[in-house]
Amino acid sequence: MSTDKSALLHERVINITRRCEDLKDNELFFMLQRNLRQAVEQSSATAPAPLVVTIIGGTGVGKSFIFSSLCATPEVSPSSSSVRGYTKELFVAAAPEDRALLPFSSEEAHYLPGLLPGAILIDTPDLDTINSNNARIARETIRVSDILIVVTTPDKRSNFAIHQNIVEWASRKRWFFVINKTDTAPDASTERLKADLTDRLQHIGFAVDPGALFAFSARQPDSDEFRRFRDLVYSPRTVVQSRILREESALRRILHALNAEKTAERILKLQQELIDYRATLSAQINEQHHLVVTSPAITGLANDSLRSSIYLELAGNNSLFLYPWFAIISWFSPGVRAEYADQAVEAALAENFRFSGCRVDERRFLEDRSLMTTSENNLPAVVKNSGNGEVFMQIIENAQRISEMPLMRFYIILGNILPSLVLLSALYRAAGSWISGIWLPTDFFVHAVALIVIASLPGYMLICKAIDRMAGRFVLKPSQQAVNLHLLDANIAGIDKILQEISLLNSSAESQLKEMQHLLPQSNCGITARDL
Ligand SMILES: Nc1nc2c(ncn2[C@@H]2O[C@H](COP(=O)(O)OP(=O)(O)O)[C@@H](O)[C@H]2O)c(=O)[nH]1
Ligand SMILES: [Mg+2]
């Protein structure tokens, strides 16, 4: 893996952990963040460290015996045929400069000079220990190991209990499996023993390569099988591969952090849950909104607002003789303006118990899942349709539409005919008299004006009727705007980003792992498992 690629992966991991920050009260994101951090921390901390090879297995299977054989010093880690769990501490064969890199105190580990520069070999006490400190040491040891050698014996292999630690770390480490003490079961062929073990291992997700399984007697260190074993697990060749093994294990740790316990899948499920709940809430809010804007009180108010808005529109239009009426009416209209209808809808929504209940439900739903309940994204905290002038716009648009309707124009023309006739006849009279040199008295003009005003009255009343009829039919339409559930939306968007990044990280780690696979064949470097 080139450094560019690992830097990119590292950056992606950091991105995800940063995004998890806002959501980390939720267990899923907390886990994801912690696991990813651990995955990269370890790779940056232990990059130059030596290869760690650890022998694990049940009590009395010959771990210490094998350890001593590999160290080429008999009894370097004392064995015992009679005392169960004879080894009480870790036996670590490591060069002095490498020891400091291990997280064990001198009480916990017995250090021996390392035989192989660049590699550390560890013999462990019983894995199935009931001592909680030993259990911790066992876990820590596995964590820092690159290669694990699991030892069992022919009598144990039939009920070869797969230790929980093996299952848990299967996908993140390289493993070799040894059936020791074959001399104690002369009637069972090594093929048979290995086949039994292979079955068990495949069952827990290992891709078993026969080359990574061994069946021998540690008492015969000169056997071909033991030599092959030594050459693969603890030889200069093993050390040469350590850098690339490390890189592979970093990738495996990242993939494990994403896929262990189905984290990504569960996050996706959580997001779907939020999306579904959003749809439910949104439907409830829309329903309440519909009920409010179509309620008799709001409808009445909207009708009045529409009526006075139409008068205002007509006063602005070319209504000739009818103009004074419209102007007077809109000046003295009872103060019912479109803005008030808007405010009334807002007030009615605020008082609507079920409408405000949806907001409470939204918050509670998020609180139950320990998700973000405050929005730091500066999203406006506006409730649907409140104060955004949508009702106002509906009324004004309707007033304009009605005032420009052909029927309304026709009424206006009709209403203007009578006063026009009166005006024409008055003008005719005035012109006639003027031509004959008679100046009409002022009374005539006063009466003419009064007559024109009176003549415009029927037209005005006709239009009043029409407006009443049209405004009375008007009902506000529910808002077409999407419901604003900004808390849910902020969470959904946040999770979405994380899911996208997870998918990117996952695919790039997988493809890099695949590239690496041919450099580290399972037969030479130990087998490994996929996350189940
Ligand atoms: N027969 C036989 N005994 C062995 C073999 N390997 C180890 N032992 C013995 O098994 C006993 C337990 O070994 P030990 O290394 O203490 O097991 P550990 O508890 O796994 O460390 C010792 O007496 C060893 O001599 C083997 O291949 N064949
Ligand atoms: Mg031992």
- d(Cα 207, Cα 527) in Å, to the nearest integer? 7
- d(Cα 425, Cα 75) in Å, to the nearest integer? 136
Ligand 1 mean position, distance from CA 477 (Å): 86
pLDDT value at residue 481 = 65
467 in any annotated domain: yes
Domain boundary among 240, 258, 285: 240
Residues 356, 421 within the same domain: yes
Buried b (16+ CB within 10 A) or exposed e, 256-294: bbbbbeebbeebbebbeebeebbeebbebbbebbeebbe
Nearest residue by C-alpha to atom 23 in ligand 1 = 81
The whole domain housing 224 covers 49-240
Encode pLDDT of 12-32 as tens digits: 999 999 999 989 899 999 999
Residues 100 and 120 sit within 8 Å (Cβ to Cβ): no
Tokens of 102: 């291990």
Residues 317, 215 within the same domain: no
Residues 311, 165 within the same domain: no
Residues 316, 179 within the same domain: no
Which ligand has the minimum distance to the alpha carbon of residue 58? 1
Q: Could you tell me the CATH number of the domain that includes residue 97?
A: 3.40.50.300
Is residue 444 classed exposed, middle or buried when 0-12, 13-18 and 19+ CB atoms within 10 A define those classes? middle
449 in any annotated domain: yes
pLDDT value at residue 385 = 44
Is residue 366 classed exposed, middle or buried when 0-12, 13-18 and 19+ CB atoms within 10 A define those classes? buried
Ligand 1 atom with the smallest distance to the CA of 65 is 15
Ligand 2 mean position, distance from CA 62 (Å): 7
- Give the torsion through C-alpha atoms of 164, 165, 170, 171, to 10 deg: 110
Of residues 137, 157, 141, 135, the one with CA closest to residue 55: 141
Ligand 1 atom with the smallest distance to the CA of 218 is 27
Ligand 2 mean position, distance from CA 447 (Å): 128
Residues 444, 330 within the same domain: yes
Residues 222, 325 within the same domain: no
Which ligand has the minimum distance to the alpha carbon of residue 84? 1
Ligand 1 mean position, distance from CA 79 (Å): 6
Ligand 1 atom with the smallest distance to the CA of 220 is 27
Ligand 1 atom with the smallest distance to the CA of 216 is 27
- Of 56, 65, 150, which is best to mutate to test ligand 1, by the most ligand atoms within 8 angstroms of its C-beta? 65
Nearest residue by C-alpha to atom 19 in ligand 1 = 60
213 in any annotated domain: yes
Residues 201, 347 within the same domain: no
Of residues 57, 220, 219, the one with CA closest to residue 123: 57
Nearest residue by C-alpha to atom 11 in ligand 1 = 81
Residues 356, 224 within the same domain: no
> What one-character DSSP code corresponds to residue 48?
T
Ligand 2 mean position, distance from CA 85 (Å): 7
pLDDT value at residue 378 = 41
Ligand 2 mean position, distance from CA 115 (Å): 19
Ligand 2 mean position, distance from CA 226 (Å): 19
- d(Cα 329, Cα 312) in Å, to the nearest integer? 8
Could you give the 3-state DSSP secondary structure of residue 440?
coil
Ligand 2 mean position, distance from CA 126 (Å): 7
Residues 6+ apart with CB under 8 A from 438: none
Could you give the 3-state DSSP secondary structure of residue 396?
helix
Which ligand has the minimum distance to the alpha carbon of residue 75? 1
Whether the pTM exceeds 0.75: the reply is no
Could you give phi then psi for residue 337, rounded to 5 degrees? -110, 165
Question: What are the residue ranges in the chain where pLDDT is below 50?
Answer: 1, 46, 377-386
pLDDT value at residue 358 = 86
Nearest residue by C-alpha to atom 16 in ligand 1 = 79
382 in any annotated domain: yes
SS (H, E, C) 122-176: EECCCCCCCCHHHHHHHHHHHHHCCEEEEEECHHHHCCCCCCHHHHHHCCCCEEE
328 in any annotated domain: yes
Nearest residue by C-alpha to atom 12 in ligand 1 = 60
- d(Cα 84, Cα 471) in Å, to the nearest integer? 97
Residues 341 and 373 sit within 8 Å (Cβ to Cβ): no
Query: DSSP states of 513-526 as a string?
Result: HHHHHTTS-HHHH-
Ligand 1 atom with the smallest distance to the CA of 184 is 1
Could you give phi then psi for residue 252, rounded to 5 degrees? -65, -35
346 in any annotated domain: yes
Residues 395 and 301 sit within 8 Å (Cβ to Cβ): no
pLDDT value at residue 176 = 95
Helix (H) or strand (E) holding 3: helix 3-20
66 in any annotated domain: yes
Residues 313, 197 within the same domain: no
Tokens of 389: 């002038």
Alpha carbon distances (Å) from 171 to 138, 432, 532: 17, 113, 9
Largest CA distance in the chain: 151
Residues 351, 426 within the same domain: yes
Domain boundary among 240, 259, 277: 240
Ligand 1 mean position, distance from CA 52 (Å): 23
Of residues 227, 223, 173, the one with CA closest to residue 530: 173
Amino acid at 422: V
Nearest residue by C-alpha to atom 13 in ligand 1 = 62
266 in any annotated domain: no
Which ligand has the minimum distance to the alpha carbon of residue 90? 2
Which ligand has the minimum distance to the alpha carbon of residue 88? 2
Residues 220, 353 within the same domain: no
Domain boundary among 477, 494, 525: 477
List ligand 1's pocket residues with C-beta within 6 A.
57, 59-65, 79-81, 86-87, 180-181, 183-184, 217-219
Helix (H) or strand (E) holding 110: strand 109-113
Encode pLDDT of 486-516 as tens digits: 889 999 999 999 999 999 999 999 999 888 8
Encode pLDDT of 399-418 as tens digits: 889 888 899 889 989 888 99
Residues in the chain: 532
Residues 304, 445 within the same domain: yes
Ligand 1 mean position, distance from CA 385 (Å): 80
Q: List the alpha helices (DSSP H) in 214-337.
A: 224-233, 236-240, 242-259, 263-293, 296-316, 323-331
- d(Cα 83, Cα 390) in Å, to the nearest integer? 85
**What total of structural domains would you count in the chain?**
2
